[in-house]
Structure formats: C-alpha cells, structure tokens
Amino acid sequence: MNIIIFGPPGAGKGTQSKFIVNKYKLYQLSTGDLLRNEIKNKTELGEKISSIINSGELVSDEIVNSLIEKFVSNDSYKNKIIFDGYPRNLIQAKNLDNLLKKYNQKIDVVLKLSVSLETIKKRISTRQTQEKRADDKSEVAIKRYETFEQSTKPILEYYDKQNLIKEVNGEQKIDVINKEIGDIIDLIEGWFWIITLYKYA
C-alpha cells in the first residue's frame, strides 16, 4: 500500500506517519526531512536550498522530484511508502503518478488531515521550543501555511476525481486520530484481500 498524508504544516503529518510506519511496516518518505538533512550535512544541495526553506517557500519541483525517484525506484520500498509533505502542487502530483506507473505502483489512499490556522499556530509555537526548527518561527510558519493553502485546491481536486481522499479531523487527540487512520487503512487492506481472493477463486 502507498499512502499520501496530506495537510498543512503542523497538522500532525509527521506524528501520524510514524504511527502508520510502526503499525503497518511502511516507510516514511518526508521530503522536508530529506531536505533538512541536506542542510544539516552541509551538502551542495543543502547550501542551495537553506534560504528557501528558511523563508517558508517551496524548493523547486526538479529537486524534490529527483529525491522521490530514488525511493520509488527502490524495490525494498515497493508499495510500502507513506508520502509525507509530497506532493505539494499539481506538477508534483502528476510527476508522482508517472513515476509510480513507471515502477508498477499506485497511490491507494490520500489521508487529508484538516486543522485550523489557530491550532496550527499553537502547535508550531510548541514545536519551535521543542525542536528549534528554523522554519517554525511564527512569521515563517504562517508563510508556510499560506503557501500550502495556495497550492492545496488543485491537488485535492486531482485526487478527489480519483476517489482517493479520506478526510480525518486533525484537531482531535492523537490516539483518536491514530484509530481513525488505522480503521481507514484496515478497510482498504480488507478490500484488497477480498478482491485478490475473488480473482484467484
């Protein structure tokens, strides 16, 4: 199963991805984490992108698309990826579909975590004290939320047409969200097995 976890910065995508990774033995592919690693390791790419990330803008599609291909093309991750923070716009969504097709895979569900700007502001200020992420400063965090809002609509329409979106209220307690997400994944897995058994019966 390949999953996209979708929501604004601070919606809890990272926390929920970790829960899914542990329970369903998937791999979390967080483009934000990969990019932050490049900055931490002071690579050539890291030097190039640090000011973009620290201002809350998006890194170029070309850069993130090439990071993604490394995972999608790797057999160890085949049909076991949870995409966290990708795709962020329609170009990336279409690129992901093409890549998955190339490697004989597809997206099974888009989990949309909905959270208000008020909640985001509160969560990000807590995270700022705990994790000290440079892009969690309040002005940058709001910029990241706005960047997200601007590119959201076309992506959601794109996946809605494919009937892939399942919305989860991200304002709830973590374990309630865990349970709702677990139920959605279990249901999809259940259908997968029914269809497989039917095919080979």
Chain contacts with ligand AMP (rule: CB under 6 A): 9, 31-32, 35, 52-53, 56-59, 64, 85-86, 88, 92, 135, 144
Q: Do 26 and 1 touch, CB atoms closer than 8 A?
A: yes
CB of 59 to ligand AMP, least distance (A): 4
Q: How many residues does the chain have?
A: 201
- Of 146 and 157, the one with the shorter C-beta distance to ligand AMP is 146
- Of 80 and 144, the one with the shorter C-beta distance to ligand AMP is 144
CB of 58 to ligand AMP, least distance (A): 4
- Of 18 and 188, the one with the shorter C-beta distance to ligand AMP is 18
Q: Which residue is nearest to ligand AMP (CB)?
A: 32
Q: Do 110 and 163 touch, CB atoms closer than 8 A?
A: no
Burial of 33 per CB tally in 10 Å (0-12, 13-18, 19+)? middle
Helix-strand-coil split of the chain, %, nearest 5: 65, 10, 25
Q: Do 95 and 87 touch, CB atoms closer than 8 A?
A: yes
Bridge partners, 5 (sequence order): 84, 111
DSSP annotation of 134 = G
- Of 5 and 177, the one with the shorter C-beta distance to ligand AMP is 5
CA 146 to chain centre: 17
CB of 96 to ligand AMP, least distance (A): 10
CB of 148 to ligand AMP, least distance (A): 8
CB of 88 to ligand AMP, least distance (A): 4
DSSP annotation of 172 = S
- Of 12 and 105, the one with the shorter C-beta distance to ligand AMP is 12
